[in-house]
Structure 1
Amino acid sequence: MTNSTRAGKRERLAHAAVQVLHEQGVEKTTLADIARAADVPVGNVYYYFKTKDQLVGAAIEAHGRHLESVLDGLERLATPQERLKALVHGWMEGRDLAAKYGCPTGTLASELDKRDDGLDRAIAKVMGRLLDWMEGQFATMGHADAKELAVALFASYQGIALLTNTFRDPEMMAAEGRRLERWIDSLT
């Protein structure tokens, strides 16, 4: 088996873990569920990941890589206001998925917070990266309270993701997204 084949299967397993963990949660998900979603024989999973926790860790790393890709795309926009509004717009585009399962990263963070094995800190680092990026955008806009504004924006999203999921109503997220876009415009 070549290194690229191994890396390909490992990546497929990590991406499948992101999806299955989001849909089922950590506790209900088995390695067999993830193997099935990745189209990898369950026996092969152990070649790449010795434990489910290692696979959860790989899913967290995949969340981090996805976030960096999103942020790289947002950085191509001209102004911090455009970047923040595009972030909000991206959240709104995921509203149907949020209505079914909640925020992919937020629900995983909430679930892992109940454990004391380091995975909770790993997902917190991913979420912290987004918070830091938002703070940088508000700071670039000239706001001395950039940290507080970033927390408010992130809290609004996490709260609406929870409500959207609880009530299975994607329109809740769309409405809050529109409000957040107006709020961002009011800060300029």
Structure 2
Amino acid sequence: MTDSPGSRTARAADKRRRLAAAAAEVLHEQGVERTTLADIAQAAGVPVGNVYYYFKTKDDLVRAALSEQSSHLDGLTRRLDELPDPLERLKGLVAAWVAQRDTAARRGCPTGTLAVELDKRPDGTLDAEAAAVIRRLLDWVGLQFRALDLPDPDGLALTLVAGYQGMSLLANALREPEVMTREGARLTDWLDSLTA
């Protein structure tokens, strides 16, 4: 009995998704330079030879990882957009960051660490794509500050996202998840002070 074209297509799409998710995870854990296609194949449970069918180069896998990170961000902001109050959305964002404190202490921010590593590569082809994911976050945060009718919403967005990147970096450098907890509380207090 042979597979239908639809089931083959579904299996191929599933394999591609597994590889992209594994790429995001392994690249965050090991970094671009230390990660091999075999590492990603193993994490995805896919024979290494199959990786080339879906992704021709490591850069293609990095793009897939960035796409995964972007999808994760979209899912998070969609859930936060269900909250009726923009201030609560922003506080929910901070809470989501703090909830990832153990991961941040081990590896830093997934997109931030990848953006820094890609910026140091001599070819400089993917750093703009990593920056685009961070820009999406900045834009969403800026929209929340606009909805609160606060002055300089883009500057406030930059301050909030910079606070996250800083606490993520320090939690990672010090291997202290509680940095995220403490600084997350400070960011929440700061948000409250803006509308008091």
Q: TM range, normalised to the smaller chain?
A: over 0.9
Q: Please provide the CA RMSD for this pair.
A: 0.9
Alignment of 1:84-123 (within 5 A): 84-115=90-121, 116-123=123-130
Are 1:53 and 2:74 matched, yes or no? no
Deviation at 1:2, TM superposition (A): 1.1
Are 1:77 and 2:107 matched, yes or no? no
Distance 2:12 2:39 in 1: 20
Distance 1:117 1:110 in 2: 11
Match of 1:170 among 162, 172, 177: 177
1:139-188 CA-partner distances (Å, limit 9, x unpaired): 11011210111000011110111100000000011000011111111111
Alignment of 1:141-156 (within 5 A): 141-156=148-163
Please list every run of 5 or more consecutive structure 1 residues that lacks an aligned counterpart in the other structure: none
CA radius of gyration, larger in: 2
Deviation at 1:123, TM superposition (A): 1.0
Please list every run of 5 or more consecutive structure 2 residues that lacks an aligned counterpart in the other structure: 1-6
Are 1:138 and 2:130 matched, yes or no? no
Percent identity of paired positions between Structure 1 and Structure 2: 57
Task: Report the secondary structure of 1:2's partner residue.
Answer: helix
Distance 2:179 2:69 in 1: 24
The letter for the 2-side match of 1:149 is L
Q: Name 1:157's counterpart in structure 2.
A: 164
The letter for the 2-side match of 1:6 is A
Match of 1:3 among 9, 15, 29: 9
Query: TM-score scaled by structure 2?
Result: 0.94
Alignment of 1:15-26 (within 5 A): 15-26=21-32
Distance 1:138 1:38 in 2: 39
Q: Name 1:41's counterpart in structure 2.
A: 47
Distance 1:150 1:44 in 2: 42
More off after superposition, 56-65 vs 30-39: 56-65
